[in-house]
Amino acid sequence: MNEFEMMKTSAKNYMIHVMNLKKEDIVLVVSDEYTKNIGNAFHDAAIDYGCTAQIYLLPEKLRPLLEIPAEMSEFAKGKSIIINVFKGSGEETPFRAKWIKEMVATKSIRIGHGPSITKSMMLEGPMNVDYEKMVLAADKMIKSFDNAKIVHVTAPGGSDIVLDIEERAFSTDAKIIKEPYFANLPCGEIWCGPIESRADGIIVCDGSIGDIGKVKKPLKIYVKNGKIINLESKDQKLVEEVEILTSLDEEARIIGELGIGLNPGAKLSGILLEDEKALGTAHIAFGNNENMKGGQNRSKTHRDFLFYKPTINVTYKDGSTKTVVKYGEFCF
């Protein structure tokens, strides 16, 4: 089997197990010149399965895109599945957020979102896993947060932050079951949108940062009342870059997500799309969380900061406590 056929197999397995692919589905693959072969793999896999499928290539002459091209929205009309597989960049984060928001609002569309996906991800690791086993792990983890109020997250790198997640239930992208019909590609995490004004402590990002990659020196993020109040690192260039990326609007520095990786095939590649799915990691994001349960952050951007071997202690509404993750290992 050649590489393209292998990518088709990965694409088909993902769409069947995660996107709940049916022969009557009408699929739109959004791709670009950089990831055209991956886009073609998803398109051909859908056609081979018996679906109707179409490809839309992002207009390279207009990139980085800030707005959704009018013809792109036209292509999406009447589709039941959207597969986004194109090159990701920090400058296009607002565009991606607008596109996802527009598609999620349609409700009937199932979305597989993979900005920065690579051939390696398609051929190895995160796209070649036991999806059913991963769904079971996601369900167990989500249930461990039932009736949770406070989570205290620590890590060997120095992270020590308290979040309020009362009535902010966790979701997973391991399988699309109900609204908002959204999954990452590759998939493999659970997440929630913490209460935006109730997070205090420090996050030490010693893994990777969305659209930046692996950090050379840890980044310390000081948080008070849910907002970034200071950034520190021995890598001053990194501090300056993150300052810019988290200053796009007023809510870009407000907490937006707590995520926990659970994909056993994901590696720390420096591409957060894969990194945030890796077992033994957690990430906290700042910015938009409108597509999360209860989320109120309407920023135009969303920036993830990943760290290794988290320990997560939960305080429940009845006052009881439990450690649900210890040094990156699930406690179930």
pLDDT for 182: 83
**Please, which pLDDT band fits residue 279 given cuts at 50, 70 and 90?**
very high
Residues in contact with 281: Cβ distance below 8 Å, sequence separation at least 6, in sequence order: 207, 260, 261, 268, 275, 306, 307, 308, 309, 310, 328
Question: What one-letter code names the amino acid at 60?
Answer: E
Q: How many CA atoms lie within 13 Å of 28's alpha carbon, on the beta-carbon side?
A: 19
Q: Which of 191, 154, 126 is nearest to 325 (CA)?
A: 154
Model pLDDT for residues 139-163, shown as the tens digit of each residue: 999 999 999 999 999 999 999 999 9
Phi, psi of 274 (to 5 degrees): -90, -40
Q: What is the pLDDT of residue 33?
A: 96
Whole-angstrom distance, CA of residue 321 vs CA of residue 318: 9
Q: Residue 203 burial by CB count (10 A; 0-12/13-18/19+): exposed, middle or buried?
A: buried
Average the pLDDT over 31-43 and give the result. Answer: 97
Checking if the pLDDT of 179 tops 60, the result is no
**pLDDT at residue 7 greater than cutoff 60:** yes
CA–CA gap between residue 17 and residue 112 (Å, rounded): 12
- Does the domain at residues 3-123 carry the CATH identifier 2.60.40.10? no
Determine the Cα–Cα distance for residues 126 and 263; give it in Å rounded to an integer.
6
- Which residue carries 């910015």 as its tokens? 287
What pLDDT score was predicted for residue 291? 84
pLDDT tens digits along 41-50: 999 999 999 9
The greatest distance separating any two alpha carbons of the chain, rounded to the nearest whole angstrom, comes to: 57
What's the rounded Cα separation, in Å, for the pair 200 and 123? 40
For residue 33 the two structure tokens come to 């010149």
CATH 3.40.1830.10 domain span(s) along the chain: 3-123
Give the integer Cα–Cα distance in Å for 286 and 18: 26
User: SS3 for 135?
Assistant: helix
Chain segment 72-125, per-residue pLDDT in tens: 999 999 999 999 999 988 789 889 989 998 998 887 899 999 999 999 999 988
- The reported pLDDT for the residue numbered 189 is 96
Q: How far apart are CA 15 and CA 127, in angstroms?
A: 11
pLDDT, greater one: 220 or 273: 220
190 forms beta bridges with 172, 260
pLDDT in tens, 193-220: 999 999 999 999 999 998 899 999 999 9
Residue with tokens 């796009």: 248
Q: How far apart are CA 96 and CA 88, in angstroms?
A: 9
Phi first, then psi, for residue 208 (nearest 5°) are -145, 165
Residue-level pLDDT at 140? 96
DSSP β-bridge partners for residue 222? 202, 230
Q: What is the mean pLDDT of the chain?
A: 94
DSSP 90: G
Q: Provide mean pLDDT across the span 213-229.
A: 97
Contact 15/112 with Cβ under 8 angstroms?
yes
